[in-house]
Every structure is written in C-alpha cells, then in structure tokens.
Structure 1
Amino acid sequence: MIAPLIVGSVGVFGLGWWWAMIPALLLNGLNWYRYNKKYEVQIKLEIKALLIALGYYLGVFSVILFMFNFDYLKITDLYPLLLAMPYNLTSLFAGELALYNNFAWFFIGTFWSGILGIGCYKLSLKESFKLRKKYPMGLIVVLIISLVPVYQRVIRSQYYVNTYTSNSSELNLNQYRPFRESKKLVHLNKKSNFKITHHYPRLDGATAAYPIYSAMAQTLYSGLNAKQADKIIKVGTTPKAFNNLINKKADVIFMAAPSSDQIKLANRKHVKLKLTKIGSEAFVFLVNQKNPVTNLSVKQVQAIYQRKIISWWSIGGSPTLIQAFQRSKNSGSQTAMENLVMQGKKLATPMKYQEEDGMGGLIDDVAGYNNNTNAIGYSFRFYTTQMKQNRNVKLLKINGYAPTTQNIRNGKYPFIANVYAISRRDQTKNSQRIVKWLTSKDGQMLINKTGYVGLK
C-alpha cells in the first residue's frame, strides 16, 4: 500500500511530464531499500507482492481502456475513486483532466523502482538475485508486460480524435480569386497583347495550382466580373478537377501528373488527354519545427513510409515513434509520392488517422497531431510555404539539398514534380490558345512571378 501511495502522491505531475515521475520512483526505491534493511523479510514474497500489484493495476486499467474504446473522457469516476486505490491523488487528477497518457507508467515505475530498491539492498549485503539463471522466462514476460503502455498508446492512436491548439492555420483562397481586390494574385508588369473576350475556357485544378490559373484568367479574360468568373474558374481537389475534365465540366485543368487510376479512367471513358508541361515544383517533406532532424536521404524517406524505420532516434532525432501521414489515393501529392519518391516500392498502409483528404489537414497534422512533434508528411513547396503557411512546420533537406528555386532549376533537389495544363485532345480553340500562351515568354513570366519554377 505504501509504494502506490508514494508514487501516486509525489509523482502526480508525471501525468503531464513523464520526468516529474522520477523523484517519486527514486523515493519509492529508497523506501524499499530502507524497509528491507530495517526488517527481515523474504525477498521472494516481496517480489511476488510487487508482481500481483502490477498485474492488478495494469490489468484493471487495460480492461477499462478497452471498455471505453480508449476514450479518456468516457472513463467513469468509479475507476479513479475505487479501482485505482491508493494511487488516488494521481488517478483523481487523471480522471478530472482526462490525462491518462502516462498513467500506466506509474504502475510499471512502482514495480521496477521497488525491484531496484530490493536489488540495492541485496548488493549492500554482497548478494545477488541470480534471476537470470533461475527465472529467465519470468523476467522476459515481465519485461514484455512493462511495454504494455506502448501498445496501449499505439492502439489508442487509432481511436483518438485530432487535437490542435495553435498549430492549425487557415487557407484563405479569396486572396487568389480573380477580378477582385486579391492581395496575393500576381500581375504582369505590362498589358498582354492576347485577350479572350468570349467562349472562355472553364478552368479547374489542384488547390496548389490555383494561383497560377487564377492569375492567368485575370490577365487574359476580358469582360468578366467576379461573379461570372466564379462560375468558370473553379478550385477544388485534384481528383475532382480530373473528373470534371473527363465529364466535360472543365476545359483545362492544372495539376501534377495524373495517377495510373486516372489514366485508366480516361481510357475507359474514351477520352484522349493532352498534357502540356508549364512549370516545375518541389515535392517536399515537412516535420514539426521542434523536430531536430533537418535532413533525410531518399532511402530513409522510402524506409519511413515502408515502416522499416519507425523511430526518429535511428535517424538522429528524439526517441519517439514516427507518425508518417499520407494523402488520399489519386490526390496530386499521393500520386507524386508514389511515382517520384517510392519509385515502385510499396507504401505501408496508413492507419485511419494517418490519411488526410486535404493537403491543409496534413500540414496541420504534422504541425502537432495530438500536440506531439513526431509526425512527418509531404506536400508541394509553393502550397506549404506560400498558401498554407504554418509556423509550426519546417521543410526537410533531401540528400543534403533544400527545396529552393535554384535547386529545382539545377535538378539537385531529388523530388521535382512537373506542373501540367491538361486538356482533352478535342479541346476548344481558346483552350488551345491559353495553354500555348502559358508556355510563351509572358506566360512563363507569370508562372515564375507566382512562385513556381517556370520552363524559362
């Protein structure tokens, strides 16, 4: 009873900061040392008592977690009041604040600090346990049981809802809408000699490409107001834009290379596509700003997303598990990940909370999923640094090269994605004209000014 009382009272702040548990564990070890020194006790009975206590507290807590689907908010008051005695001070705080993340470690810590105290007493008598020879299997079992909190944390991650504090950032597309007072929409320094005054091509594309084709529309389309422009210049996701092109709801779309599934869809619909490269962009990997890792090799990135590397510790980071976030299938960034990065290697299937439909959500996940700093994700450079700016993430170097404009142009950065204007081969005359204009001197000037890397 004394050991749980010591750890549960002195170590209460360990609920929020694991290191705050250390003084309580040292005090518990000292208590066991002094108890054995003062009284003649049977060591075997003491160890048996410690094992029974560990089995009870950890077992009950595990059952409670499974009963409530690992939702800390649903755990009833009955558990901290009665079933966790005499860890009551800690358990009551845990129940009131829903701070059960470190709670199981109190039981593990109580057991091993008790063993440490007993061991120190035996060493002072010049005696040893000889457990390795006598109880090797038992020791292995106890060590495995001591890792149960790690298993609980991993399982809970599959149920837990994303929580952010100040880590999320808003994406305001109004800043890029044409025919408005758009703060971030770029303009040519001169008037274009080429204008479209009727039969305006309908535009759509990936969110990341919106600043390009929105600026192009404002430069080339004449005679439109903001309300009219909204009807023919759409912005959404890559899959939605591609489907609109296939179903003749869009004339030209702007995105990275289509996925194999999208190519198959076009073939099934008997739609012949024309892909025109208009620029380049870096496909980037991002981590939390506080992550000490600044550089990864191509092989390390591949290994992380195959779950061959699962800890930041093995690649120069902190001793935490890597949360590798992915995008949904057929999104532009997921296709780039498969083609540019994995290059035929199979991606590990993400857990349900590790897959994001939108690039913005992925960036916020990396900024602080569950308020942790152990996530990694991917996106495109311009979207991450200019559109969805989040001060809590940073871009990684790959093979020692940062994703700068210079390193994209000279090809030193390993992951470079082409940006395409995609139309049907039976495109309208005006669709053909705007695509051609984008590869011209003025079109390339506009693309470079936007922040992408043009062909020229």
Structure 2
Amino acid sequence: MIVLQLIFVFIGVLFFTGIIAFTLLLNGAIHYLTLLFVLSISFFLLYTFLLLDWFKTKKRKVVVSTIIGVAVLIASIAPIQYHYKMSMATVDAEIDAYAYEPFVDHNKVVKNDTKASLQLKDPLPRLDGATAMYPLYAAFVEATYPKKEYPYYDSEVKVSRTPEAYQNLISGDVDVIFAAAPSESQIKIAEINGLTFEMTPIGREAFVFFVHHKNNVENLSLEQIKQIYAGEITNWREVGGANDSIRAFQRPADSGSQTTLEKMMGDTALMEAPAEDVASGMGGIIHEVSQYRNYKNAIGFTFRYYSTEMVGNKEIQLLSIDGIAPTKENIRNGTYPLTSEFYAVTTGTDNPNVKQFIDWIVSPEGQALVEKVGYVPVESF
C-alpha cells in the first residue's frame, strides 16, 4: 500500500513539475529550472521519509534539512544572478517607436518652421531604416508627405533594425532605407541578388564608446580602444582605471554599430564577444550577443544621437577619444576621430518620387531639418 502511494505521489510530482517546466521554457525562464527540479525532488523525499516514519531522531531531521537547504541555496544562485543582471539598465533599450510616428498628435517628431518646398504625392517612396534614424526620416515625412496615418509596423513608413532594413531593401519591400553603411555580408547578399547599393550621404554622426558613470576613465586613445576589443587590454588599470577586468560588449552581426566597430578595427582581429544563451519564443534557445548592461566594469558602444537624445541614460558617460569629446561641434569640424556618415540607401527603385525626395534631403532645406533634429548635416548651408 505504501509503495502504491509513493508511486502515485511520484507520478503526480513528475506531472506537475513537467507542466511548470514547460511553462518556464515558454516564458524563457530557464534559469528557474534547476531550482524547480531541486524543490520537486526535495518534496518527494520529504514525503517519502514522513510516510516511512524515518524522522525518528533529531539528528536525521538536521541532516536532511541541511542537505535540502544547501541544495535549494545552490539552485537559487542562477535566478538571483539573473535578476541582479536584469536590474541593471541597458543602453540599447528599445525606444517607443509610436512616439515618433508621423502626424500623430503630441508626437516627438521635429517640425519644420515653414512648409517644405517639396510636397509628395502617390506613389510615395516606401521607407524603412535603423531605429536611431527613425526620428530623422519621420521628420522628413511630416515635412513632405501627405498627412495621414503611417503605422511604423505596416505602412509606407516603417522602422526596423539595420539588418532587417537592408533585407527589406534587397527584397524590394521598400524603396529607401536610412542607415549606416552596409556590412560586407549585406553587400554580398545584394550582389547575389543582382543589386548594388546606391548610397547618398545625408548626415554625420559620432560612433561613441561609453562606460559606467562611476568609472574614473574618461578618455581612451583609439589604439587603446582597438586593443580592448582585440582582447589585448583586459584590465582597467592598464588604461588608468581601477583594478578590475574589462567587460567589452559587442552587438549582433550586421547591426549598424557592430559593422562600424569592425571597420574601425581595420586589420586588427576582433575578439569573440561575450555571449549568453537567451530563451526566445516558444521555448527555443538562441545564442545571442549580449546587449550592453551597465556593469561597473563594462564598456559598450553606440551612436551619439541614440545614446544622448533617444535613450538618455544618465548612468553612463561617453568617453573622449584621443582627448576629443563626441560633441556636435567636434563632429562638424572633423576633430572627433570616429565620425562617420549615414545614408539614404536605394537599389535602383523605379518609384519616380525617390530621386526628388533624396534631392530635397540633401538640399539646404533638408539639411537644415537634419540639424534641427539633432544630427550634424553633411552639407553646409
């Protein structure tokens, strides 16, 4: 009878553990699995010992309690570490795209002071671009497109991350994208599809590196940056900081900032990025490069406008490079060493309005709007 009861309880524990484990996988909470299994096993063992009246002495109770307590404590380390990490701010936080959707009441889109000389009609150029570019081309849209709804997820004016935007351009789903220069793999994919990227510079931006605001390192040389990302400099004390290892974060391949980092490194080999397993979707596990989290020993990178205007995280500080701060003035005069252009990119669209739209963007009128949004124009006016 006792054996049957134990079998029944075992099956019950196994069943409910399986359901909870499946739910945790669906929600990406794999860090709780070990703790779940430890708790399930502990419950079954306690039930068995009680049923068999095994706890007859105080010593047995102490031994079992200690073993279970230690096991639960060890199994709790992963969830505690996860929640500690998640409590830290991320610089690559997602913005509220709806806040920049054109013609929406009380949006954050920068307005032209006067009516633009260009007023487009159908067929409207289909646009897409990097997240950091959305406030800019949303301003172009409000200035030159007819007033109507342009949902950022399904309209003539969409917003994606850089890899998706380039893919949408290659597949012909959009006419123009606004982004940093393409990666080598994106260029090759275009060539395979018989396409060539036509890139029109429309503004300048600073590629910036940042650290925790309590890090006393405020400046690095370009060579030190390269050595850090090559894995040759591994401790902050090597560059005048505290005795702490450097946690140098990277971004996913083909993203605009990762491509810029790779170009900056030149012939210097880029070290393998810190990575973590991240649960996604229906329990699938993908291997994804970590987003920057504000560890006190970390260094990350992005573009100036995104970090200062869109995210505005006060827990970080932007580094000077070779003694030059990444200000708009230093981008404009060319003294900041990591300044790059961003582009309106096409692949030979047959939309008749695309050329006049891009021509307007690089005109004094369009470049004035680039300045007003917060970027540095590529043309003086």
What is the deviation of 1:224? Answer: 2.5
Further displaced range: 264-273 or 170-179: 170-179
Kindly provide the CA deviation profile for residues 253-273 of structure 1, in whole angstroms up to 9, marking residues without a partner as x. Answer: 000111111111111100122
Match of 2:340 in 1: 417
Cross-structure match for 2:139: 215
CA distance in 2 between partners of 1:358 and 1:98 (Å): 24
Q: 1:343 to 1:182 in 2, by over 3 A?
A: farther
Q: Distance in 2 between matches of 1:346 and 1:414?
A: 20
Unaligned runs of 5+ in 2: 1-29, 43-61, 279-285
What is aligned with 1:15? none
Q: CA deviation at 1:96?
A: 8.5
The equivalent of 2:228 in structure 1 is: 304
| CA distance in 2 between partners of 1:310 and 1:387 (Å) | 30
Matching residue of 1:335: 259
Question: Please, which of 353, 358, 377 is the counterpart of residue 454 of structure 1?
Answer: 377
> Alignment length, in residue pairs?
319
CA–CA distance in structure 1, aligned partners of residues 344 and 315 of structure 2: 32
Distance (Å, rounded) in 1 between the aligned partners of 2:152 and 2:134: 17
Alignment partner of 1:382 is 2:305: yes
TM-aligned CA deviation for residue 395 of structure 1: 0.7
Question: Among residues 307, 315, 319, which one is paired with 2:243 in the alignment?
Answer: 319
Answer yes or no: is the 8 Å Cα contact 2:152–2:158 preserved in 1.
no
The residue number in structure 1 matching 2:270 is 347
| Corresponding residue number in structure 2 for 1:232 | 156
* Change beyond 3 A, Cα 1:234–1:317: same
Residue aligning to 1:167: 89
Q: Which amino acid aligns with 1:222?
A: P
SS in 1 for 2:243: coil
Distance 1:223 1:177, change over 3 A: closer
Farther-moved stretch of structure 1 (227-236 vs 415-424): 227-236
Same amino acid, percent of matched pairs: 36
Structure with more of its chain in helix, by fraction: 1
Counterparts in 2 of 1:96 and 1:240: CA distance versus 1, 3 Å: closer
Partner of 1:280: 204
Please report the RMSD computed on the Cα atoms of aligned residues, expressed in angstroms: 3.5
SS at match of 2:325: coil
Deviation at 1:184, TM superposition (A): 2.0
Q: CA deviation at 1:187?
A: 1.1
- AA partner of residue 143 (structure 2): T
* TM-superposed deviation, 1:318: 1.7
1:171-201 deviation line (CA, Å, top 9, x unaligned): 2122211010243210111111210121000
State the shift of 1:320 in Å.
1.4
1:402 to 310, 325, 342: 325
Q: Distance in 2 between matches of 1:71 and 1:310?
A: 33
Q: Deviations over 1:404-448 (max 9, x none)?
A: 001101111111121100011244220111111110011001111
Question: Which amino acid is 1:297 matched to?
Answer: S
| Residues 347 and 315 of structure 1: CA distance in aligned 2, closer, same or farther (over 3 Å) | same
Q: Quick one: which amino acid aligns to residue 331 of structure 2?
A: I
Structure 2: which amino acid aligns with 1:382? Y
Distance 1:292 1:259 in 2: 34
The answer to whether residue 291 in structure 2 is matched with residue 362 in structure 1 is yes
How far is the alpha carbon of 1:344 from its aligned partner? 2.2
Query: Normalising by structure 1, what TM-score?
Result: 0.63
The C-alpha deviation readout for 1:49-104, integer Å capped at 9, x for no partner, is: xxxxxxxxxxxxxxxxxxx99999579699xx869x9xx9xx97x9399569xxxx
SS in 1 for 2:343: strand
Q: Which residue of 1 aligns with 2:359?
A: 436
User: Which of 243, 246, 249 is 2:167 aligned to?
Assistant: 243
The equivalent of 2:23 in structure 1 is: none
Could you list the runs of 5+ residues in structure 1 that have no partner in the other structure?
1-67, 101-156
Alpha-carbon spacing, 1:82–1:443, altered in 2? closer, same or farther (3 Å): farther
Contact 2:170/2:195 (CA < 8 Å) preserved in 1? yes
The alpha carbon displacement at 1:389 in A equals 2.0
Does residue 445 (structure 1) correspond to residue 353 (structure 2)? The answer is no
Give how far 1:312 is off. Answer: 1.1
After TM superposition, the runs of 4+ consecutive aligned structure 1 residues lying more than 3 A away are: 68-78, 96-100, 226-230, 354-359
Greater radius of gyration (CA): 1
Report the Cα distance in structure 2 between the residues aligned to 1:443 and 1:194, rounded to whole angstroms.
10
For the 8 Å contact 2:222–2:322, the answer to whether it is kept is: yes
Q: Which letter does structure 2 place at the counterpart of 1:244?
A: N
The two structures have a TM-score, normalised by structure 2, of 0.75
Q: 1:232 to 1:452 in 2, by over 3 A?
A: same
Contact in 2 for aligned 1:312/1:322 (Cα 8 Å): yes
